[in-house]
Chain A
């Protein structure tokens, strides 16, 4: 099929958006190197711009691009090999490994993207490095965009990415989907990155500017991609958790930028489509019998999402889910959350008893939310002096301006 020459940049641009990651990932498998693959991919798209107008768009652009990229890489190594004789060996290896790439492109390509994710999120890399590399190589964000999202300078981010790639090369971190016995730990390392990206976007609402990319949407996009590639209940659980949180975004902040707590949110602003999708995902994950921490958290978020108004919340189930979560993930913060759920379900005294037990162990003494929760429960049962002392303790520990404003308001209400 002939295309008019002026349509070609548009067509190649569309193909780039859809195919650049699969093509890039396939080239990494064939060439064994991230940088070489990136160059090869750019070369292949450049040839596409030059040739598709005259020769027509190939019937399978992805296969064409992979095969063209591979030839270009071999060319490139040949040319550059005069600076580095070791490269000749490299060409021979590549040619042997990829005798006929065109036939196997589509079959393996899904796995290639998954391989790329596992490489970028390899536990040998620091969490910072994993996050940076995933956003740049898997999400195709520029170094500058990732830097601005994490509020660091582009040069800091660029070095982080260079070091991560060097580490992959030097430690020979393999480009592969891990074997079965390693899979749960390796999936956990990937999900940790995705959740960090999500939370960075969800909670770091300060310092937001028009140029700042939306990290929460990127995390959700990654979640969908992983969910399509990897049939694992925790992947579904995390995607569900992110969707259920994201569904509340329009109701989370007031026009003046203050945080609005769950109880006070206008629930008609919640995104119903996201909730429906989140609910269906968490159900699948929950009944898979291999539900993990993300799934339990998603199930808790689901119970909140299902309540038409705060009083209709099923606190009994929520407390039960926190108990399940505690069993696989013991943590005083989760215990605190359970205490709040118990207070809602069985009354403030029962919850207060739990919180005092946690504080009594000295574990959350410096955690402002523990004191805030205690203050609220004390107020409910009329222990006003105790409530005031706890709010004051919370205020001395809180760092963020909106939280401090919130606590001060609570203190003044107490005095009124």
Chain B
């Protein structure tokens, strides 16, 4: 009995003085090894009578776990101390640059196409596409612009053959023709894409982007056209209110036709879209001409609707303050980094159109 207490006290003292793992392991084997002191005490129990045995063994067990716990704790303390002392030498200058990474960017035209698609998606338009190389019929004739029509002068067309039958589309409107020829009404589509005109200066590039819109159904009228574009412009420019003016104009493929102006003001040389007193022409639209519907085998006495065409590059310029159209296509690394968008910034209605 007294042996046990003696052992306990002796070793608790010993332990409280040691400070390295080696010594602790030494103590561990002195106590619990094959002929360790505690092990020996356990061996002695066999020779005791049952009465004594009960008391001693419970005392012995308690002592054993007390010592063991103490040792465990001691080991942990030492380990923590060791880590702490190591840490003193493990300091780096975290202001040094990280391992290298590079940021990719999405071109403003692509970003704006995604913004536009997201807005029109909300009101039920789906996206259609058509080829860049078109025949003269789809680009002009089917769109009520027969040969010798003065309106053909409005488009400086790139041709791929001498007979002027194959060309680079001058607008996205031929997608209307293709879509309507392939399907049955109702149609509710937008068609973004590349378009081409042989024109080149500060505000004209030989290639640019348009988005075509087409909504054909029974009973679609000009008030729906106005509503659709009003919705789109407000959403796109992310403003609550916008001044908008529908001005009569002429396109061979729509009638009545309109050009749409939006209000803006200049603040410190920047264009602010919204309620300013100046007008900015932004798109062309109208009710699809019955001749066009007839050309694509849609009965104009049963179906009618509207179409519009918007310059995508111009929208991007206005929204993001870009001055020079030609810079869009000149692949200047500095320009792309400056005006490009983070690839994770996907425009959507629930996450917001733009940051």
> Bound pair: A and B?
no
Interface residues of chain B, those whose CB is within 8 Å of chain A, are none
Give me the interface of A with B, judged by CB distance under 8 Å.
none
